[in-house]
Amino acid sequence: MELEQAQKLWQPEPGWLNTASYGLPPEPVWTAVQDALADWRVGRTSWEVWGEATERSRTAFATMVGVPAADVTVGSTVSQLLAPVAAALPAGASVVVPEVEFTSNLFPWLVQEQRGVRVRTVPLAGLVDAIDSDTDLVAFSLVQSADGTVAEYEKVVAAARAHDALVAVDATQACGWLPFDAGLADAVAVGAYKWLMAPRGSALAYLAPALRERMRPDAAGWYAGADPHSSYYGPPLRLADDARRFDISPAWFSWVGTAPALELVAEIGPPVIQAYDVALANRFLAGLGQPPGDSAIVTVEVPGAQEKLARAGVRAAVRAGRVRASFHLYTTEADVDLALDALTS
């Protein structure tokens, strides 16, 4: 689908510059969820119809990040998807994490400290150099939530591989606008409600086959079964032999909206979206006299910025003491200029 054609699928109120908090649903997503809710209200259909959306989402995500669908597990949040990875670390393992990492990719490692796992935080700029022979796993966000910094993904992976360390990535603030190969890492988890513009409550993760051999599916239920529909009752344990053994039972209506969202992003293409989003971000930076960047998320320090933006009807966020603005498919140059007028007036 051409970009201009796709952009007709949104009708946002002017001034939404906060996709890094949550994305806005395109028309196919909104319609799919409303139709499912209407069917639920009167008992018009069976739940299996809603369940099919989960498998569509798994396939679309796998294609987007360049991995086999059999290596993708589904869940509800990033921390829940990373928890079994953290639990699989041996006692005494050493984990390296950026010091301003979003806690969905920090707390799962920190809670393992009670059994001897050691977590060391370092500046993001020094992450590559901090990986050494004592490192068992390095965890980081592909794009930082606080300020939009894009991590040196391939360099971090190369440093980890040089020391036989695992790599766990939170790509929530990247997937949907930043093209990347998930297969370079061992685990890549994504919350789908931001740049993938799905309802909150759906998340996906790539889990490398070698990593899965170390992991135990502690949350296994019927949906983790080799055949979920014959896994409703009774023993023996009969789990899927691929990443699906780490699935949790899907929240139907979240996934009903996730499938068309991911399929639309895949159809437009992350490279096209990247070019559009970063161009808007750089228009914003240029208007404030700042050099261009490489991210769809930017932060600025302008006295009274939060109040100025609010008076103009611009919705942005404040993170780590700075105004954070984020730009996506439904953002227009008029939105950017509205924010610039508010900040420079």
Position 39 in a domain: no
Closest by CA position to 338, among listed 314, 322, 315, 318: 314
Q: Are residues 19 and 128 both part of a single domain?
A: no
Cβ(283)–Cβ(291) under 8 Å? no
Position 308 in a domain: yes
Q: Are residues 235 and 184 both part of a single domain?
A: yes
In this structure, the dihedral spanned by the alpha carbons of residues 58, 59, 60 and 63, taken in order and rounded to 10 degrees, is 120
187-191 and 317-319 strand pairing: unpaired
Q: Are residues 253 and 308 both part of a single domain?
A: no
Domain boundary, last residue among 231, 266, 301 = 266
- How confident is the prediction for the chain on average, in pLDDT? 96
Q: Are residues 313 and 329 both part of a single domain?
A: yes
The rounded distance, in Å, linking the Cα atoms of 96 and 99 is 9
Position 32 in a domain: no
Give the pLDDT score at 345. 83
How many domains does the chain contain in total? 2
Give the pLDDT score at 320. 64
Q: What is the domain-level CATH number for residue 12? A: 3.90.1150.10
Q: Are residues 81 and 165 both part of a single domain?
A: yes
In our burial notation (b when 16+ CB lie closer than 10 A, e otherwise), range 245-282 reads bbbbbbbbbbbbbbbbbbbbbbebebebbbebbbebbb
Cβ(203)–Cβ(254) under 8 Å? no
Q: pLDDT per residue over 48-106, tens digit each?
A: 999 999 999 999 999 999 999 999 999 999 999 999 999 999 999 999 999 999 999 99
Range of the domain at 229: 48-266
Q: Would the pLDDT of 321 be above 70?
A: no
Q: pLDDT per residue over 53-68, tens digit each?
A: 999 999 999 999 999 9
Q: Would the pLDDT of 44 be above 90?
A: yes
Domain boundary, last residue among 232, 250, 266 = 266
pTM across the whole model: 0.96
Q: Would the pLDDT of 319 be above 90?
A: no
Position 121 in a domain: yes
Q: Are residues 147 and 133 both part of a single domain?
A: yes
User: Would the CA dihedral through 168, 173, 175, 178 be positive or negative?
Assistant: negative
Closest by CA position to 166, among listed 126, 214, 123, 233: 214
Count of C-beta atoms within a 10 Å radius of residue 84: 25
Q: Are residues 129 and 273 both part of a single domain?
A: no
In our burial notation (b when 16+ CB lie closer than 10 A, e otherwise), range 169-201 reads bbbbbbbbbbebebebbbbbbbbbbbbbbbbbb
Give the pLDDT score at 171. 98
Count of C-beta atoms within a 10 Å radius of residue 304: 10
The rounded distance, in Å, linking the Cα atoms of 239 and 227 is 8
Q: Are residues 197 and 340 both part of a single domain?
A: no
For residues 156-179, give the mean pLDDT: 98
Closest by CA position to 77, among listed 318, 251, 282, 295: 251
CA distances to 214, 276, 314, 330, 333 from 336, rounded to whole Å, are 47, 13, 9, 12, 5
